[in-house]
A and B are shown apart, each in its own frame.
Chain A
Amino acid sequence: MSDLSQSFGHALNLLLRFDSNLWEIVALSFRVSLSAVMIATVLGLPIAAALAIKNFPGHGAVRILVDTLMAMPPVVIGLVVYLLLSRAGPLGIFGLLYTPSAMIIAQSLLITPIIVALGLQVFVPLWAKFGDQFRLFNTTTRQNLFTLVHEGRHQLLTVWLAGFGRAIAEIGAVMMVGGNIDHYTRVMTTAIALETSKGNLEMAMALGLVLMLMALAINILAHSFSRLQQSPN
């Protein structure tokens, strides 16, 4: 118990002192995971909306594939991205392995299926509600797509947060493709793993608490923003 309370004190101390090392790590975590969730959103939402709107051959297969990919362990994604980005791999010429870019790519791949699968759960009932009306208005697919996203924006925020949560909490992929390089590719989770392996459990726990506090802050921000939007007029 005293270990935990000590860690908590340590965490607060680190945060309030604006420890530059810590903030560097926090900033990179956010930069990587926010970029990844943005890419995953731009990629995933149109796919989800298309799956909800259109009934094309192979529709069922795509949905099964998406659900399966959602269960993909981060290390496997990490391994795939590692093999792709390694100098000996097909994308080796870009020299992206062991860079923040590689971590963004890996996390994007990791959370796109989540955005698609959860987005689908938002879009399917919306389309059931609006589909006929849109057909009567004779609006274009593009217009329909944007309208669905707009109508589902509050639920999509939750989807988005789920994706972000998975990205920022993930370690397997970033460790493998980022390499946990000090001052360069070290993020919260890899730093926690490192401190744990060094036996600095207190520091590791403090980092863990920082991660949780950050997640809390993001969620409060997002939900209050959503409430602000939702209130009539």
Chain B
Amino acid sequence: MKYIITLLSIFCLNATSYAAGPLALGTTTTLRDSGLLEHLQADFYATHGIAIRSVVLSSGQVFNAAKRGDIDIALTHAPKAEQAFIESGMGLARTPVFYNHFLLVGPKNSGLKLNDKASLSDALQSLHEQRLPFISRDDGSGTQAFEQKLLSQLGIEPSGEHYIKSGRGMGPTLQLASQLQAYTLCDWATWQAYQAKLSLELIVSTPQAKQNQYSLVTVNPNTSAHPPQASAELFYTWLTGPAGQAAIETFQVNGQQLFHAGMAKSEN
């Protein structure tokens, strides 16, 4: 008995339990690596005095964690997965909150010849035709979902040595591409944060395409293993409202705006 008390006391003295209050936000690497997350957390804390704990996972993992009741609200960029989550009844609402666009980056002095108006699709097609090395995230992320969408529209089922699967987040994948002098799809924000450290350059960038939509997805309290905290709703109201939207618009890195508030008109 004494023994068990000893064990428990060591544990309790050194552990802190999950106190109600901090909001568990499930989100993706691109938002952390660009610095937006910290910016939003600080703003939200300043307004409402509620701390946010961001659990950074790939979009696929975020919804898995949400199903298990381990996060209170999700901020992701994988429209298909978000829709599926809502259709399964686990998610309550999905609101697009901000966006930017995807780019293709690759080695300097690229061997890929494209005309000036080439889209990402055109570029991917040429890449695969010429069997140039391309790195796919392959981690269930929103970026990978976007790549899959383009490839399936093109009717390409990539395989072979030139199609490399990194299985890692955006940052490490960019570094891998830089080391291997390969091509990869990347979001605008992460590219801004990383480009100085890479020997890669922009191949295709079409800001007007606005393909990378981030959405806030709320968890259905009735179906989740653990109902989300009340502060989740507060965060939802804040980020979709004028204050949160302004916080996104004003976020800059090196004088560059990384995200645009609201919903991209091109989203389908």
Question: Taking A42-B7, A87-B68, A98-B70 as contacts, is the C-beta distance between A184 and B53 under 8 angstroms?
Answer: yes
User: Measured between alpha carbons, how far is A78 from B3 in the docked complex, in Å?
Assistant: 26
Q: Are B16 and A199 in contact (CB under 8 A)?
A: no
Of the four ranges (under 10, 10 to 19, 20 to 34, 35 or more), the interface on chain B belongs to 35 or more
Q: Are A87 and B226 in contact (CB under 8 A)?
A: yes
Q: Are B33 and A104 in contact (CB under 8 A)?
A: no
User: Measured between alpha carbons, how far is A99 from B22 in the docked complex, in Å?
Assistant: 11
Chain B contacts for A99, CB-based, 8 A? 15-18
> Does chain B have a CB within 8 A of A15?
no
* Residue in A38, A86, A97, A198 whose CB lies within 8 Å of B10: A38
Chain A contacts for B197, CB-based, 8 A? 199
CB distance from B1 to the nearest CB of A (A): 14
* Residue in A86, A95, A101 whose CB lies within 8 Å of B11: A101
Task: Scan A161-205; emit 1 where CB is below 8 A from any B CB, else 0.
Answer: 000000000000000000111101000000000001111000000
> Does chain B have a CB within 8 A of A11?
no
User: Measured between alpha carbons, how far is A100 from B19 in the docked complex, in Å?
Assistant: 12
Q: Are B11 and A199 in contact (CB under 8 A)?
A: no
Question: Taking A38-B10, A87-B225, A197-B171 as contacts, is the C-beta distance between A98 and B16 under 8 angstroms?
Answer: no
User: Measured between alpha carbons, how far is A54 from B28 in the docked complex, in Å?
Assistant: 52
Name which residue of chain A comes closest to B68, CB basis: A88
Question: Taking A42-B3, A95-B226 as contacts, is the C-beta distance between A181 and B54 under 8 angstroms?
Answer: yes
Q: Are A198 and B33 in contact (CB under 8 A)?
A: yes
Q: Are A43 and B7 in contact (CB under 8 A)?
A: yes
CB distance from A128 to the nearest CB of B (A): 27
> Does chain B have a CB within 8 A of A137?
no
User: Measured between alpha carbons, how far is A87 from B71 in the docked complex, in Å?
Assistant: 9
CB distance from A231 to the nearest CB of B (A): 30
Interface residues of A (CB under 8 A from B): 31-32, 34-35, 38-39, 42-43, 46, 86-89, 92, 94-101, 104, 179-182, 184, 196-199
Interface residues of B (CB under 8 A from A): 3, 6-7, 10-11, 13-18, 22, 24, 29, 33, 38, 53-56, 65, 67-70, 168-169, 171-172, 174-175, 193-194, 197-198, 224-226
8 shortest interchain CB distances as A-B pairs: A87-B69, A87-B226, A95-B18, A35-B14, A101-B15, A88-B225, A88-B68, A199-B197
